[in-house]
Structure 1
Amino acid sequence: MPPTTAELVHDRNLGDLLKHRDVVLEGCEAPQRTARVVLADMLGTDEARTDDAMLVASELIANAIQHAGGAVSFRIEVYELGSALGVVDRASDTGALPVSPSNSSTEPTDVAVSGRGLFIVQRLANTWSVEQTENGKIVIAVLTQAGSR
């Protein structure tokens, strides 16, 4: 079983925290672009790492917009061996997120028209989770550097 986000982050499997930034997205005209700019600044020149993180962040923000009334903020934590990305929204129903996201509809041979966001996150991130916050929830994805699992 893969480690949980809490295990990776709080049990220091990612090493020391190097950088942390919270970005307000509420009221932002282009929240996904804003998150990508912050990620590029914080993750630097590792193109593969940055590309995966940008796609994961974009999917998490899109899900918050589509299913939770919008993204409130974006959190990025850069560790020695990876990063943790979180998107906060105001919806409090953590049970609405599928435990095992899928890329198909009810028929195994059909591809779903929507609902692939968390499937993409699950494929790119080492682990992801959802946690209650004071005013909603945060969906967190952890991406480790190659070879640091």
Structure 2
Amino acid sequence: MKKLSVPLLYGIFIAIALIAYFLLLSIFGLHVNPAYSIFNMVITGGGIFLAIKAYRAKKGGKFKYQKGFAAGISAGFVATVIFTGFFALYTSELNPGFQEELITMWETDWFVPIGMLVFTVALMGFATSFVVTLAIMQLYKPTWNTSEGKKHTY
């Protein structure tokens, strides 16, 4: 059996952690408060950091910036797709009243269909993955603080 790629494996781990966190919040009835979703960025960031670290170790400690970025963004996108699928299932089948509970938190008269809610969750996941990967890759970017790098500054 072929081993899973690093981004796929870590994407699955990130998704499991996100789902577990969401279900933990739902036990206490806190999953209807969007403020708690800020911790999703911490979970995603930690998973992407570990994915890039594992990818770097697999490549012997050196890799191109683009390859590391691709590994991180792929892990985040895999996690987002899996979590969005779970969220759609949870909202439509497991707890159909969740959509109404979540929308009433904003005290609005708008009708938000389930598709728009799921699309928003996916969009937030993709954006978080992109931004967090950009931030984490700064740790792995090669420095220009060398004698060769100083030749290219003013």
Question: Which TM-score applies when normalising by structure 1?
Answer: 0.27
Q: Which has the higher helix share?
A: 2
| Higher relative contact order, chain-length normalized (CA < 8 Å, sep 6+) | 2
Q: Which has the higher strand share?
A: 1
Question: Which TM-score applies when normalising by structure 2?
Answer: 0.26
Larger Rg: 2
